[in-house]
Amino acid sequence: MLGTCVLALALIVTASALTALVTGAPPATAAARPGRHWVNTWTGMPQLTEPANLPPAPYTGAKSVLVDTTLRQTVRVTTGGPRIRLRFSNAYGDTPLPLTAVTVALPRDGRAGVSAVEPGSLRRVTFVGRDSATVPVGAQLVSDPLDFALRAGTELTVTAYTAPGQASLALTSHPGSRTTSYLVHGDRTRDEDLPGATAVDHWYLLSDVEVLAPGRTRAVAVVGDSLTDGRGSTTNGNDRWPDRLFDRLRTRPDTSGIAVLNQAAGGNRVLADGLGPNVLARLDRDVLSRSGVAWLIVFEGVNDIGTAEATAEAQRAVTADLTAGYRQIVVRAHAQGIRVYGATLTPFGGNTPYDDPAGEREASRQRVNAWIRTPGHFDAVIDFDRAVRDPATPDRLRPDLHDGDWLHLDPQGYRVLAAAVPQGLFRPTG
């Protein structure tokens, strides 16, 4: 009987290996190892690219985009591991997205937003063992696992080439990258540098990077608007407040393995679509389905208040709707075992067009913040309002912390936000 079992096991292993040899696909066991699991280490919230943010000519035509184009971009991973896999999104495409070739590498000198990579670091990315793949309309595509060791805080270069391009202008991207990417004609995925390439400060097509991490590794996701997406931060500087939070977490042994996932977009709202779908619509896609998420920070609502009419009736309605929306987020996240932390909304006094003479929108902000601070609504409160408001004029930001428009912060302001997040909120989980 023992001999029969051993023979059967040998046949199963041999069949798996033979399948991999014939198809080029990795064996079924290649995606997981004992004590490890997949965790998102970088994300860029997918959006429909607005006309002004499409690739410049000649990479955008009348009815197609990225034809015969290589796209090279860098992203910063927030937890490490020995294997990676990529996710490409065609969430807003109305035609299939062909990927002809994809590579990964380490950027030259470990820098963000550079076109050159470290010699010898280029690796081919495959999809079910093949170099090319097509992302269906509205879908995402996950690459095969790739042995490519990354440390937390490392920059990763991802280069993709699409020979036919996308046969429409409905391109999926994350325009607010605050990171420089590069476009050049021809298949240059294996080139160590791209001299003469066109620089653009947007991310396209790539939506996620995952690593195979130790079993206790978890992620904190952040949903937000331009204040979290980093408007006012430094291009290629990685100084948005979630970046600064990551920098803080990695300095302590008990939080050094936590991934930080920035799922924000400029103009985004909790209740209504704007630049990207509303939070209630995108919560499943951007948070609940992400690998390894244990905590969620909600820092959003300013755009809901600021775009509602500046009347007492409209503002009381948006206040009630916002707090109801927050309750929905908490309920849905708790169902997945995710703890939810509410961040108070920061001031916008002096901003055009959000500040109104009668102060109706400021009254809404105060009501919403009072609700967020009320015990029992969120699992914990992060008081961003208290951290950056002007003590002498509480409806305004501190003058030394904003970027000039009295709404968005500068790099120092984002550092203050990150410092206001209690590190004790991210206790290790089993």
pLDDT band at 34 (very low <50, low <70, confident <90, very high): low
Say what the pLDDT of residue 35 is.
87
Q: What's the mean pLDDT in 131-155? A: 98
pLDDT band at 9 (very low <50, low <70, confident <90, very high): very low
Model pLDDT for residues 172-207, shown as the tens digit of each residue: 999 999 999 999 999 999 999 999 999 999 999 999
Give every CB contact of residue 284 below 8 A, 6+ residues apart in sequence.
332
Higher pLDDT, 3 or 354: 354
Higher pLDDT, 4 or 421: 421
Per-residue pLDDT for 89 more than 90? yes
pLDDT band at 33 (very low <50, low <70, confident <90, very high): low
Model pLDDT for residues 194-241, shown as the tens digit of each residue: 999 999 999 999 999 999 999 999 999 999 999 999 999 999 999 999
Extract the tokens encoding 199: 């620089």
Task: Tell me if 269 sits within 8 A of 300, measured CB to CB.
Answer: yes
Task: Tell me if 106 sits within 8 A of 117, measured CB to CB.
Answer: yes
Nearest-angstrom CA–CA distance, 350 and 357: 10
Across the strands, what pairs with 307? none
Per-residue pLDDT for 15 more than 80? no
Extract the tokens encoding 41: 């280490």
Model pLDDT for residues 268-286, shown as the tens digit of each residue: 999 999 888 999 999 999 9
Tokens 């991210």 sit on residue: 426
Quick one: 203 exposed, middle or buried, by C-beta within 10 A (0-12, 13-18, 19+)? buried
Other residues' Cβ atoms within 10 Å of the Cβ of residue 18: 11
Per-residue pLDDT for 38 more than 50? yes
Task: Give per-residue burial for 282-291: e unless 16+ CB within 10 Å, then b.
Answer: bbebbbbebb
pLDDT band at 17 (very low <50, low <70, confident <90, very high): very low
Nearest-angstrom CA–CA distance, 29 and 16: 9
3-state secondary structure the chain: CHHHHHHHHHHHHHHHHHHHHHHCCCCHHHHCCCCEEEEEEEECCCEECCHHHCCCCCCECCCCECCCEEEEEEEECCCCEEEEEEEEECCCCCCCEEECEEEEECEHHHCCCCCCECCCCCEEECECCECCEEECCCCEEECCCEEEEECCCCEEEEEEEECCCECCCCCEEECCCCCCEEEEECCCCCCCCCCCCEEECCEECEEEEEEEEECCCCEEEEEECHHHHCCCCCCCCCCCHHHHHHHHHCCCCCCCCCEEEEEECCCCCCCCCECECCHHHHHHHHHHCCCCEEEEEEECCHHHHHHCCCCHHHHHHHHHHHHHHHHHHHHHHHCCCCEEEEECCCCCCCCCCCCCCCCHHHHHHHHHHHHHHCCCCCCEEECHHHHHEECCEEEEECCCCECCCCCCECHHHHHHHHHCCCHHHCCCCC
Say what the pLDDT of residue 352 is.
96
Other residues' Cβ atoms within 10 Å of the Cβ of residue 167: 17
Per-residue pLDDT for 8 more than 50? no
Say what the pLDDT of residue 302 is.
98
Per-residue pLDDT for 108 more than 70? yes
At position 176, the amino acid (one-letter code) is G
Nearest-angstrom CA–CA distance, 334 and 294: 10
Per-residue pLDDT for 20 more than 90? no
pTM, rounded to two decimals: 0.91
Tokens 């920035």 sit on residue: 262
Q: Phi/psi class of residue 202: alpha, beta or left (left: φ > 0; alpha: ψ in -120 to 50)? A: beta
Q: What's the mean pLDDT in 22-28? A: 37
Angle, helices 360-373/312-334, rounded to nearest 10 degrees: 30
Question: What are the φ/ψ torsions at residue 269 (nearest 5 degrees)?
Answer: -135, 160
Say what the pLDDT of residue 11 is.
35
Say what the pLDDT of residue 21 is.
32
Task: Tell me if 401 sits within 8 A of 410, measured CB to CB.
Answer: yes
Per-residue pLDDT for 90 more than 60? yes
Say what the pLDDT of residue 427 is.
80
Nearest-angstrom CA–CA distance, 181 and 192: 15
Nearest-angstrom CA–CA distance, 82 and 111: 21
Task: Tell me if 161 sits within 8 A of 188, measured CB to CB.
Answer: yes
